[in-house]
Amino acid sequence: AEQGAALAGLLTATVSLLLISWQLAAVVLAATAVRLVALHLLSGPLDRRVYAEQREAARAGALATDFTAGIRVLKGFGAEEAASSRYRRASRDSMAAALRRVRSLADLTALNSAVSGAFLAGIALLAAWHATEGRLSVGEFVAAVGLAQVVAGPMETLGFFGASLASKRGSARRLAELLAEPYRVTGPASAPEQPCGAALFALRYGPVTITARPGELVGVRASGSVAGDLADLAACRVAPAPGDYVLAGRDAAALSPDEARRTVHAPPHDATVFTGTVAGNLFADGVSARATAASGLDDVLTHLPDGLTSQVGEQGRFLSGGQRQRLLLARALHQPQPVLVLHEPTTSVDSVTEDRIARALRDSGRTIVLITTSPVLLGACHRIHDLTPPDTTPAPAPAPENAATKAAR
């Protein structure tokens, strides 16, 4: 918007100058073009330094996350000092990369301001020369100098376009590298059909085979690492063994992740809420009133100031834990895949809302697999597969008889 306003201001001032002197207008257009090209070429170092800054910041952040998660292991091996030293080096590298990026941006900003000043002086001198030659009247000279001052602001704003574009290119390179990373799970684009009866979804885990037929709500009582493994297998974040996972009659082990995810949608339990609006977090092709009602999001919308257009903040920080979870559930229900796998979707909502969600999921008519230990959700399922370990706690031994008890006998 700012660049568009600057361009509109520049064109307006140039047309006004054209009415006074076509030579002055031509100089303005030529100077603008040369300036944009020059600053674009000079923004190359900034592009590389933005990329380096983000790479080093990501590296330092990843180390901090790893060390925080493994602090007990580090203490157990006595490696705290080595870990601290490694993080300090990564942090210093990140700071140095940030300073290089700031210096590059400062140099580009100073050059842009200097060029603006030189341009203003050049236009004023050219207008003065035309006035002394009698080509401009005194009034036209004053108007030309005034318009030159007006043009200087938009030109300086447009000059920052190269710096802004360089920053975005650096970020885009990081994102492109992430998207270019190969899948951990690979396979051909198609696979031969496997017999799975009437089931649309069949996943074998140990001795249990979890199946779900079209329109069925199936519960899987599982917790801890078992629940996490099931969610990862269903989403093809982990490669299944051949024959263990069948989707719509095809072995998922022989499918590419993209092909498998056209049949099943299995978001992680800790999925991310994106910065933006509620509607922007749901679905690009529109919002389904049925999905918002089934997830309990309709109640959240009544408490937000702007409803679907309300801002949620970075990672949903404007929302409570329960509101974020209902938003993520609504997003999952908006997905078009025929099979939906949900991992503990209601851990942060109240019991009344959870009961309402459970009944809505049962009546949705979709094929849904619920990985949960919630009695409310499991109570709404058509069938339940129990993967919790059996209770092996030994019964308490009887108390030994004392002397008084023996005497009473």
Q: Of 180, 210, 245, which one is at a domain's C-terminal end? A: 180
d(CA 310, CA 298): 13
Q: Which domain holds residue 84?
A: 1-180
Looking at the structure, tell me whether residues 174 and 209 fall in a common domain.
Answer: no
The C-alpha R_g of the chain, in whole angstroms, comes to 33
Q: pLDDT grade, residue 254 (50/70/90)?
A: confident
d(CA 141, CA 130): 8
pTM for the model:
0.60
Tell me: the pLDDT tens digits for 143-159? Answer: 877 877 777 777 777 76
Secondary structure class of 176 (helix, strand, coil): helix
Q: Give the contacts of 295 (CB within 8 A, at least 6 positions apart).
A: 326, 327, 329, 330, 333, 357, 360
Under 8 Å between Cβ of 44 and 55: no
Q: pLDDT grade, residue 191 (50/70/90)?
A: very low
d(CA 36, CA 157): 11
Q: Nearest 5 degrees, angle CA 201-CA 205-CA 209? A: 50
d(CA 130, CA 157): 28
Looking at the structure, tell me whether residues 128 and 250 fall in a common domain.
Answer: no
Looking at the structure, tell me whether residues 157 and 245 fall in a common domain.
Answer: no
Cα(first)–Cα(last) distance of the chain, in Å?
96
Domain count along the chain: 2
Query: What CATH number did the domain enclosing 354 receive?
Result: 3.40.50.300
In a domain, 287, yes or no: yes
> φ and ψ at 201, to 5 degrees?
-140, 130
In a domain, 392, yes or no: no
Looking at the structure, tell me whether residues 148 and 228 fall in a common domain.
Answer: no
| Confidence check: pLDDT of 31 > 50 | yes
Query: What CATH number did the domain enclosing 54 receive?
Result: 1.20.1560.10
In a domain, 237, yes or no: yes
Looking at the structure, tell me whether residues 283 and 164 fall in a common domain.
Answer: no
In a domain, 404, yes or no: no
Q: Which residue has the higher pLDDT, 44 or 66?
A: 66
Q: How many Cα atoms are found within 13 Å in the side-chain-facing hemisphere of 283? A: 15
* Total count of residues recorded for the chain: 409
Q: For residue 28, what pLDDT is reported?
A: 76
